[in-house]
Amino acid sequence: MTDQSTILTDRPAGQTVYRRTFTKADGRPLRLYGYAPHTETALLEDGGDVAKGGELRWHPLRQEWNVYAPHRQNRTFKPSAADDPLAPTKPGGPSTEIPFSDFEIAVFENKFTSLHKDAPIPQSVIGVESAVAKGHCDVVVYTPEQTGNLHTIGQTKRRLLLSTWNDRYEDLFAQGCKFVLPFESRGEAVGVTLHHPHGQIYAFPFVPKVQRDAAIGFQGGYNLAAHMRDCAGNYGVVESGGIDAVCPPYARFPYETYLVPQRAVMGPWEFTEEEAAGFAYLLGDMTRRYDALFGQVTPYMLSLHAAPKGLEDNWQFHAKFYPLMRSPGRIKYLASVEQSTGAFTVDVMPERAAQELRAL
């Protein structure tokens, strides 16, 4: 059983970040990140079988790979607080995914993974190209507390989260993954089934179509950082540490916001400490602004877009917030036109969205 501690190279100024790597009873890796070494003895946990991914099939009309993982139908669905699988395990209590009574940030391989290093050989389908769904899927638990969000966990924890993401980027790219996507889905309207504050990381064996198209734009000369700087007057929300939060003029969702470094970097591992602190701050600040604007826990999709392997030329890292609200109490649904064509109808002008968010 692997159980070792490492000091990370990426760390907030004046702080040391430790990673403990532990192998769970069912063989899945668990990584514990913190500002202090994690030395607690593991509690007993359940073992059992673990899914090893699905399969890939090529869509000839959309020119993209899709992942088929039918075992995910059995994943945990809206458990009670007493059965929260992302909470720390308490002595004498039920076994959870984290067999320790406390932690700062925990990352473990998804039990219901879509992608896996030992994914099975796909079945043959007439007229459809298929491939092995190699890759990796992580669950990233922000806090041992059962409630909270990217704003309430605080700047110190958000900066630790950024160090955690950078460590996973390094490891997953080293394993041969082509694109690594840290993301968070927040709120039942997005499909969240576990309410404990957490995000995920998907590491793909291919570059998805959205990122392939973005690479074409970057390689064609599009300068995202310069464009968002030029737009900051009418479309900017807030700036921190050399990072702009902007509602891009071509937003597809009402109140969509990008976090864009003012200088081009391939990924957050290239941030200066000032940029890292600014980016971490804006993750929380935008969450706060959305909740204040809509007067509720705002459902959103957050994703980090670092350079895919092999398509690094001129790539500019950015993060995207896609909130699913168009006004208080009203969800922005992706209906027939959007789903069928990819052409979005946007209910709120981006310049108006920026003005409203900026005012908070």
How many C-beta atoms lie closer than 10 Å to residue 238's C-beta? 21
Which one of the listed residues 116, 198, 305, 318 is annotated catalytic?
Answer: 198
Q: Hey, what are 342's tokens? A: 């990819």
DSSP-assigned letter for residue 125:
B
C-alpha 247/C-alpha 350 separation (Å) is 6
Those residues with Cβ within 8 angstroms of residue 33's Cβ, 6 or more apart along the chain or in another chain: 8, 17, 18, 19, 104, 105, 106, 107, 160, 163, 164, 167
Those residues with Cβ within 8 angstroms of residue 291's Cβ, 6 or more apart along the chain or in another chain: 149, 151, 297, 298
C-alpha 18/C-alpha 125 separation (Å) is 46
How many C-beta atoms lie closer than 10 Å to residue 299's C-beta? 21
DSSP-assigned letter for residue 260:
E
C-alpha 32/C-alpha 43 separation (Å) is 15
Taking the chain, what is the end-to-end CA distance rounded to the nearest angstrom?
Answer: 50
**Cβ atoms of residues 139 and 107 within 8 Å:** yes
C-alpha 292/C-alpha 306 separation (Å) is 29
**Strand ranges (DSSP E) for 104-220?**
105-109, 130-132, 136-141, 179-186, 198-204
**Cβ atoms of residues 325 and 299 within 8 Å:** yes
Secondary-structure percent of the chain, ordered helix, strand, coil, rounded to 5: 25, 25, 50
Q: Is 59 a catalytic residue?
A: no
Question: In this structure, are strands 236-240 and 198-204 parallel, antiparallel, or unpaired?
Answer: unpaired
Q: Estimate to the nearest angstrom the gap between the alpha carbon of 246 and the chain centroid.
A: 19
C-alpha 202/C-alpha 296 separation (Å) is 28
Active-site annotation, residues: 198
